[in-house]
Amino acid sequence: MPQDQRAVPQLDFSGLTCPLPLLKTKLALNKLPSGGRIEIKATDPGSVRDFQVFAEQSQYQLERWWQEGEHYYYQLLKP
């Protein structure tokens, strides 16, 4: 089954502050197979920069991020 038809794991890190959303995301990414995607929900405004820098300095791709109210969402791809 193509990756885009599989359910994308969604992690809710609402209420956690830096660096916990990113640290917990890294643990989850380690368990994903190559080509896997993960979606994260967070409330820490600092997570925007954390995830952008993480993607720039790692092999993982930040495919997109967006904000809805006080929630921030990130979709990462493991190459």
Q: Which residues are catalytic?
A: 18
Q: How buried is 18 (Cβ within 10 angstroms: 0-12 exposed, 13-18 middle, 19+ buried)? A: middle
For Cα atoms 29, 17, 59, give the angle at the middle one, nearest 5 degrees: 25
